[in-house]
Chains A and B, each alone.
Chain A
Amino acid sequence: MTRRAPIVLVVLIAASALLAPWLAPHDPAAQLDISLLKNVAPSWSHWLGTDPYSRDVLSRAIFGARTSLSVAALATTLALIVGCTWGAAAASINARLGDGLMSMVDVLRSTPRVLLFLAVAVLLGPLGTVSLALVLGVTAWTGVSRLVFVLVREINTKPFVEAARAMGASRWLCLRRHVLPQLLDPIAASGALLLADLLAVEAGLSFIGLGVRPPQASWGSMLQDGLPYMRSAWWLTAVPSLLLIVTVLSAAAIADGLERPRSRG
């Protein structure tokens, strides 16, 4: 795989997610003809076939990309913001308090996040795009905050930061002008990894019925609908599986590419 391929793939999928209403041939939730169009194999009129509720799989895949990507992207953004703030704050304030903040993070990290998903699921039932992204983001920021914490502490001891401090620059100014610019690459890399991870988590949650509310299409909920028909209607599981694999692998490859320049330097 060339270095550009994953970026092109992700951009393509993201573009079709954005343009879903114009690209998709049908309404993703419309049951076209429940008696005649149930589990029809791919053909010219339905490129990727239809599902057990006679919905068009191509349309669901495109709208599913919209759900899956927007949930993962929103959650990643939220996790990056919270994680960077928490980590940078813990590394910048006095050492004991900072360690205290980070041990809270460690406790959260060693609590399986599936527990929180369960709690939310039983309290609120299936979720919409935004609330699902919130729940995912809230559980995903701890890794980033660890990374930022370690890096900021490390850079804070470097001579150029100490020099700036000695010249009278405030902690905040140092953080903004000298420390954060050095962190952009690793943060971007962990963001891409997080995106890949959260795509998988969202799909998994929707797959076991704790994610988006049906009939909203998500790659995970498409897999859930398709699994019982795997023997007779392979396209129902093959399409979302392939999309998930391609997107997750591409995001991971992008993360890998972002990490490399740093280790070279």
Chain B
Amino acid sequence: MASFLVRRLLHAIAVMAVAVTLGFALVHLAPGDAMTGSVTQADRSSEARDRLRTRAGLDQPLTTQYARFVRGAMRGDLGRSFVSDQPVVTIVGAALRNSLVLSAAGLCAAILLGLGVGSAQGWYPANRVWRVLGRTLTALYAVPEFVLAIGLIGLLAYGAGLLPVGGMSDPVTSLLGSTSERFVDAARHLLLPALTLALGWGAAVARQQRAAIAASAGDDFIRTARAKGRSERAALVSHALPATIAPVIAIIGLMLPAMVGGSFIIEVVFAWPGLAVAVVHAVAQRDVPVVSGAILVIALLVASSSLLIDVLIRAADPRQRAA
């Protein structure tokens, strides 16, 4: 276990090093320098720009700047936005909270959906309902996520008028509504983007789960459970299902980097005020510190959650612990 943890930590550190260097390189490879690049700086006088440059440390040698950047990042100081002059941590932090709400909702729904449909399809291969559901999910999985999102918006938001088109809350309700009204409003805004994510991610989980359950259906321990007289459902829920938990966690771990990209685009489609919208905005304004800060935060998140997932797999699967 100890050597495994050390290896995983090294891997996570390597991922972070790539991201830190990328984030740093970003600030310093920008044509000219980062100051002249940003739109709002163009109209400032050259003395003002020099002052800003000194404050951002851009006049020092690269190695010093890199050390400063890394040290700052470790203390949670990512510099200030070139555009709004707010600390990057504030901007990114607020956006991150919204992103996490959406991703967490999408992931929970995806796991429920994937485990449910996948298990049922694998356990009852003859059942037509589950088979059709499973195939539908697989087909949806092949469709690019944001196209799916646009389709859902067209059907449920514009077509049926059931749900809001985008955003995180209704401006009127968020100002004047009672707590419960605001909650319902937030849930309505969350539903469509979370559903889009859940369909895409759930399909991947379902595929894995169906294969795992179908493979274990003939295993000795399942036969034993049946021979003891346990019902089909009990054999599935308390025998077959627990054995498939570790691979499902593993699949989610493998999907993590792609999930970041997927939810990124979904946030833009639904104008969800998360990291993606903040970053796309920052890119348009060439607000380099915000972009590099967001890159760092995303990488840290992915590295630490994939670390967590690998530890979880060990915990969920006794065979791995022994190895």
Contact = CB atoms under 8 A, between A and B. Distances in A.
Interface in A94-112: 103, 106-112
B154 A122 contact: no
Interface string A77-108: 00000000000000000000000000100111
Interface in A194-246: 196, 199-201, 203-204, 207-210, 223, 227, 230-231, 234, 237-238, 241, 244-245
A248 interface: yes
A167 B136 CA distance: 53
Given A112-B299, A244-B147, A234 B11 contact: no
Given A110-B256, A112-B257, A231-B158, A118 B295 contact: yes
B19 A208 contact: no
A249 interface: yes
Nearest to A224: B268
Given A110-B303, A230-B158, A118 B283 contact: yes
Given A208-B280, A241-B151, A245-B147, A122 B288 contact: yes
B298 A115 contact: yes
A113 interface: yes
B291 A118 contact: yes
Given A103-B11, A241-B150, A123 B30 contact: yes
A111 B268 contact: no
Interface in A10-49: none
A9 interface: no
Contacts of B15: 107, 110-111
A245 B11 contact: no
A20 to B, nearest CB: 22
A116 B283 CA distance: 13
Contacts of A184: none
Interface in B91-109: none
A207 B265 contact: yes
Contact of B286 (A106, A122, A201, A245): A122
B142 A249 contact: yes
A223 B295 contact: no
B218 interface: no
Interface residue tally on B, bucketed by range: 35 or more
Contacts of B151: 241
Contacts of B257: 109-113
Contacts of A204: 144-146, 261, 265
B154 A244 contact: no
Most chain B CB neighbours (cut-off 10 Å) among A111, A234, A237: A111
B284 interface: yes
Given A118-B291, A208-B268, A123 B26 contact: yes
Nearest to B261: A114
A132 interface: no
B280 A248 contact: no
B283 A210 contact: yes
A121 interface: yes
Interface string B202-235: 0000000000000000000000000000000000
Interface in A163-208: 196, 199-201, 203-204, 207-208
A115 B265 CA distance: 13
Contacts of B256: 110, 112
Given A123-B29, A237-B150, A244 B294 contact: no
A108 B282 CA distance: 25
A176 B84 CA distance: 58
A123 B31 CA distance: 7
Contacts of B265: 204, 207-208
A73 interface: no
B11 A107 contact: yes
B88 to A, nearest CB: 14
Interface string B269-290: 1000000100110111010100
Nearest to A204: B265
Contacts of B23: 119
Contacts of B26: 119, 122-123
B162 interface: no
A111 B299 CA distance: 7
A152 B291 CA distance: 40
B123 interface: no
3 smallest beta-carbon distances between A and B, as pairs: A200-B144, A112-B260, A112-B257
Given A196-B142, A204-B265, 14 more contacts: A107-B18, A113-B261, A114-B260, A115-B299, A122-B26, A123-B26, A207-B146, A207-B265, A210-B283, A227-B269, A230-B158, A241-B147, A241-B150, A249-B142
21 contacts: A103-B11, A107-B15, A111-B257, A111-B302, A118-B291, A118-B295, A121-B283, A122-B30, A122-B283, A122-B291, A123-B29, A204-B261, A207-B146, A207-B268, A209-B283, A230-B154, A230-B158, A244-B144, A245-B147, A249-B142, A249-B143
Interface of A: 103, 106-116, 118-119, 121-123, 196, 199-201, 203-204, 207-210, 223, 227, 230-231, 234, 237-238, 241, 244-245, 248-249, 252
Interface of B: 11, 14-15, 18-19, 22-23, 25-26, 29-31, 139, 142-147, 150-151, 153-154, 158, 256-258, 260-261, 264-265, 268-269, 276, 279-280, 282-284, 286, 288, 291-292, 294-295, 298-299, 302-303, 306
